[in-house]
Amino acid sequence: MNAIFDDVKKLVKKERESAAKHFPFFRSAHEAVAIVREEVEEAHDEMVKIECRLNFLWRKVKKNKFLECNECIVSMEEVAANLACEAIQIAALCEKILLSQSTIKEYEGGNHYD
């Protein structure tokens, strides 16, 4: 993983800069968290797809039919790439939250992260 970490961080920056051209800073903590939650749910959906494909592969392995699984493996690779993209979007949103803090007007009562 260390071999690609710097590359991923560059992709996170690229995603954040690209999104910044179309979407302004967050206006509230609620908006920021809602958008991050949406991306996390999408990442979770991709992970569920991977788990389903892995379960299928495992059933085939137990039946000594692993060589019949190329289509599933290709599909799992594609879904894993989608998951990576979702994770990059989440990281980019986290950066955007940090950059948006000066524009986010917290509602009365101060810190609501406890």
**pLDDT tens digits for 22-61?**
998 888 889 999 999 999 999 999 999 999 999 999 999 9
Cα–Cα distance, 77 to 5 (Å, whole number): 19
pTM (two decimals) = 0.85
Residue 106 has pLDDT above 70, yes or no: no
**In this predicted model, which residue has the larger pLDDT, 111 or 75?**
75
CA-based end-to-end distance of the chain: 32
Average pLDDT, the chain: 91
Distance CA 42, CA 48 (A): 10
Best CA proximity match to 38, nearest among 100, 90, 104: 90
Domain boundaries, the chain: 16-100
Residue 105, pLDDT score: 67
Cα–Cα distance for residue pair 19/93, rounded to 1 Å: 9
pLDDT at 112 over 60: no
